Amino acid sequence: MRWFKLAAAYTAACAVRSSAFDLDVNDRESMKQGAVLAADGMMHYYAGHLPGNTPGILPPPYYWWEVGAMFGGLIDHWWYTGNDTWNDIVMQGMLHQIGADGMVMPKNQTTTEGNDDQAFWAIATMMAAERGFPNPPEGQPQWLAVTQTVFNLQTTRWDNEHCGGGLRWQIFTWNNGYDYKNTVSNGCLFQLATRLARYTGNQTYSDWANKIWDWSVESGLITDDYRFYDGLDIRSDCKINHNQWSYNAGLYLAGSAFMYNITTGAEQNTWKKRLDGILWMAGVFFHPQQTDIMYEAICEPYPRGCNTDQKSFKAYFSRWLAITTQMAPYTAEIIMPKLRTSAVAAMKTCVGGSDGVTCGLKWYKGDWGAWDGNYGVGEQMAVMEVTQSLLIEGMPAPFTEVIGGNSTGDPAAGGGGDNPQLNAIVDLSEPTAGQKAGAAFATLTVLSMTGYMAYYMVT
């Protein structure tokens, strides 16, 4: 298969060395060229648009959620750079995985799909509405309506019975992690609520944003000093996993910025306090010896390293830092210098692989211009996102229904809980005692493995 050949080329042991891309952060054309270079390398791994392959799917070891995240990055890529090379591929892949019902629960993923997975695709559809990305053909689910469908589906899964509220990691009882309530799932729902609130002006979304924030604090997932912990285990009396990841902070940072943008007076001051606190604590994701260079603090510096998912987290952190500067402009003087320094360092790693332009993971390495041997979709996406994020200065703010937006919505889509379309996809009957026990065991196994992997904690 073509994707295998492309991947093999990227793993060549003998890398061709070339001059690192010299990113000029004062030149928009230079920033565009750097982002395009990283995007082209990223898309070498994708072949879903080719005959015989499934649109919207990356080959192993990449999971389904990361394709949705990647498409979101490509929507921003088009918006920032004007490069529409990938637009048709993004459209094809997104519509195929969204499905005719707009639920973002394709049959090839339904039995393994988690709330965070589904939400990353919905964030991409929200971005498509906000950016004015070309609308799907008539008769196909529209970007705003899809986002509302996923939001409504997920709010019906809100679980007040365990740990006082919150969204579980998994949708179905038999999946690993069903008894875990993770910050990324709740953070994604929080961000969807805030963006829908701004786009539509509907107070219901703002109410949900406040509800999710309050529970995240009350449960201990957000601390008084704005650390964002990974999640909590229902079966262990809501015990918290204290791992910290950049994308969790980024989710709540951007969501808080959207709320700051649409509120006034005392309410806006509340969101400003939260924004300032998150931004201050987010400093842990910039290397202490290489000032202002982003890194995934819990895995990058250590021998065990980052797994496939974690290698992409800086992409979303960069994206959400950038959008924060538009929703809360006063933050730009703090955020933009960090993004500029990180982008320059990131582009310096793009000298690896058999093509001589493959990007690496560890941007903070003192030997700039050296490839660290890491490669893949996550590495390319992170470099693309941090570089194109610099272009946000001078760009229009995300559209709304009354300013620039033209995506058709359906605020009632996906609601009601007992959805006959969902029941037709997968058997939602009450699980057996054995299935429940298996899910509990699987959750504990996943948590213990996660804890072992992240044996160095962010402090």
Please give the residue that has the higher pLDDT: either 416 or 5: 416
pLDDT at 408: 95
- DSSP one-letter code for 142: P
**pLDDT tens readout for residues 181-216:** 999 999 999 999 999 999 999 999 999 999 999 999
- Model confidence at 442, pLDDT cuts 50, 70, 90, reads very low
- Segment 418-440 shows an average pLDDT of 44
- Model confidence at 362, pLDDT cuts 50, 70, 90, reads very high
Q: What's the Rg (C-alpha) of the chain?
A: 21
Cis peptide bond prior to 61, omega within 30° of 0 = yes
Cα separation, 404 vs 286, in Å, equals 35
Determine the 3-state secondary structure of 277 from DSSP: helix
**373 pLDDT more than 90:** yes
Q: What torsion do the CA atoms of 428, 432, 438, 443 make, to the nearest 10 degrees?
A: 50
Cα separation, 164 vs 171, in Å, equals 18
In the chain, the percentage of residues whose pLDDT exceeds 90 is 81
- Segment 419-444 shows an average pLDDT of 44
Query: What separation in angstroms does the CA of 230 have from each of 3, 19, 245, 378?
Result: 33, 39, 7, 20
- Model confidence at 221, pLDDT cuts 50, 70, 90, reads very high
**pLDDT tens readout for residues 223-237:** 999 999 999 999 999
Identify the weakest region by mean pLDDT among 347-351, 376-380, 422-426: 422-426
- Model confidence at 369, pLDDT cuts 50, 70, 90, reads low
pLDDT at 366: 64
Residue type for position 166? G
**pLDDT tens readout for residues 270-284:** 999 999 999 999 999
Cα separation, 395 vs 404, in Å, equals 13
**CB neighbours of residue 450 within 10 Å:** 16
As a whole number, the mean pLDDT across the chain is 89
**pLDDT tens readout for residues 62-90:** 999 999 999 999 999 999 999 999 999 99
Closest Cα to residue 421, out of 101, 51, 36, 121? 101
In the chain, the percentage of residues whose pLDDT exceeds 70 is 85
Cα separation, 313 vs 378, in Å, equals 8
pLDDT at 162: 98
Regarding beta strands 231-233 and 239-241, do their DSSP bridges make them parallel or antiparallel, or are they unpaired? Answer: antiparallel
Q: What torsion do the CA atoms of 227, 228, 230, 233 make, to the nearest 10 degrees?
A: 90
pLDDT at 235: 97
**Full-model pTM:** 0.89
CATH class, 2-453 region: mainly alpha
- DSSP one-letter code for 225: T
H or E segment to which residue 239 belongs:
strand 239-241
Residue type for position 241? N
Cα separation, 443 vs 457, in Å, equals 21
**pLDDT tens readout for residues 317-330:** 999 999 999 999 99
- Segment 291-316 shows an average pLDDT of 96
**46 pLDDT more than 90:** yes
Query: What separation in angstroms does the CA of 347 have from each of 36, 215, 340, 412?
Result: 11, 39, 11, 44
Which bin fits 160, alpha (ψ -120 to 50), beta or left (φ > 0)? alpha
| DSSP states along 260-295 | HHH--HHHHHHHHHHHHHHHHHGGGGB-SSSTT-B-
Which bin fits 26, alpha (ψ -120 to 50), beta or left (φ > 0)? alpha
The ranges assigned to domains in the chain are 2-453
Choose the most confident range, by mean pLDDT, from 9-18, 125-134, 405-414. Answer: 125-134
**pLDDT tens readout for residues 22-45:** 999 999 999 999 999 999 999 999
Q: Are 71 and 94 in contact (CB under 8 A)?
A: yes
- Model confidence at 288, pLDDT cuts 50, 70, 90, reads confident
Identify the weakest region by mean pLDDT among 210-214, 284-288, 297-301, 445-449: 445-449
**437 pLDDT more than 60:** no
Q: Are 187 and 171 in contact (CB under 8 A)?
A: no
Q: Are 192 and 147 in contact (CB under 8 A)?
A: yes
Closest Cα to residue 327, out of 381, 278, 380, 285? 278
Determine the 3-state secondary structure of 322 from DSSP: helix
